[in-house]
Amino acid sequence: MAQLLLSFSILIFAISLFNFMTIRIPKRDEEVKKSVTVLAPMRNEAENVPEFISALSTQMGVKQMKFIVINDGSTDKTAELLTTVIDGDSRFTVIDSPAQRIGWLGKVSALQAGYEAANSEYIITLDADVRLEPNAIMRAITQLERLQLDFISPYPRQIAQTLAEKLIQPLLHWSWMSTVVLRLAEKFPRRSTAVANGQFFIVRSSALAKIDGFSSVSNQILDDIELARSLISAGYKGVVTEGSGIASTRMYSSFDEIRQGYGKSLWKAFGGPLGTIVAISFIFLTGILPVFLIFNGYLTGWFIYLYIAFSREISAIRSRGNPIYAFLHPLSSALLIYLIAYSWAKRGSIQWKGRTV
């Protein structure tokens, strides 16, 4: 058993290292002549409005760019702040999301409203807590066109400040960096290897139109990954790219926010009870069992632990995170298992921005 687990940990390290060396990184500054529309759904995002709008207004290198901000029933000062901060900039349009469509989740319903108001060759979805560098959109579109893909998802740098964030947030990047051979997923797209992040997602309008906008993910909590799967099923190609140099975000600022944020989605993340059992087994075998082997005097336990920790190191370096927390992987694993269990216990009852999800 220990030898098999050692071989598995070496494979994880090898995939991480290969992706580290070959992952697509948007870094070319070339003027974009095609039209681009950014869709930004907002629900109670008053604290994010000033910095978010400021980052959008400084975007450069795109000749035809529009921003559609969808006010999704905000009950705070989001709407007022948008008017003040936009200050008449003609590139921005603020619309109120219509009543939530029956059978749709709120955010996806808002995105569909924005999509129906857009008329451009590229559509970008962007979360309000993402901060873009001035050349972010130009580089992302240039990368998509040069690769001749239909969609890409530049993965933002995940900023972590509290201990809970530092233990959990790096696992997002590592989860696909260590398990999906990205160049193969790009060349031979399959639903099972789809990786995407709706925080920053770029898609050709022609591809999105073929799947009727966001209709295929109308009730999906993990709408970003499911959108990528829908596009792949329709014959389109895309891939996650390393966007930490052009975008960053701090998703959560406390353990309670982490628990609620992951609680609303983790129970759906693995496809059902069987998938969840497989995921927990993977987390336990690679994160916690090596510690038991070490304390029981197995030298193999140290090798397993180090290969996994080094794969985390590689992911952290590539995503501009703090690599020191890679060595706390057993703690991260235990916390993630707790969050998965919490999500299943609270499924369908978590409140997020005033809505039950």
Same domain, 201 and 260: no
Same domain, 35 and 145: yes
Per-residue model confidence (pLDDT) at position 351: 67
List, for residues 321-330, the tens digit of each pLDDT value.
999 999 999 9
Region 210-239: mean pLDDT is: 95
Same domain, 12 and 82: no
Same domain, 37 and 15: no
Confidence of residue 313 (pLDDT cuts 50, 70, 90): very high
Q: How many C-beta atoms lie closer than 10 Å to residue 180's C-beta? A: 18
Same domain, 8 and 56: no
- In the chain, the number of structural domains is 2
List, for residues 64-92, the tens digit of each pLDDT value.
999 999 999 999 999 999 999 999 899 99
Q: Name the residue with tokens 């950014």.
A: 38
- Measured CA to CA in angstroms, residue 43 lies from 82, 110, 129, 140, 354 at distances of 12, 10, 11, 26, 9
Region 149-156: mean pLDDT is: 98
Same domain, 44 and 167: yes
Same domain, 172 and 259: no
> How far, in whole angstroms, is CA 270 from its chain's centroid?
15
List, for residues 274-295, the tens digit of each pLDDT value.
999 999 999 999 999 999 999 9
Same domain, 16 and 136: no
Per-residue model confidence (pLDDT) at position 100: 84
List, for residues 2-56, the tens digit of each pLDDT value.
889 999 999 999 999 999 999 999 999 999 999 999 999 999 999 999 999 999 9
> How far, in whole angstroms, is CA 166 from its chain's centroid?
17
Phi, psi of 114 (to 5 degrees): -65, -40
| Mean per-residue pLDDT over the chain, rounded | 94
Cα separation, 45 vs 67, whole angstroms? 16
Is the confidence at residue 356, as pLDDT, over 70? Answer: no
Provide the domain limits for residue 332.
Answer: 2-21+255-356
Confidence of residue 183 (pLDDT cuts 50, 70, 90): very high
Confidence of residue 94 (pLDDT cuts 50, 70, 90): very high
DSSP 132-178: E-TTHHHHHHHHHHHHT-SEEEEE-EE---SHHHHHHTHHHHHHHHT
Per-residue model confidence (pLDDT) at position 357: 67
Same domain, 11 and 33: no
Per-residue model confidence (pLDDT) at position 35: 97
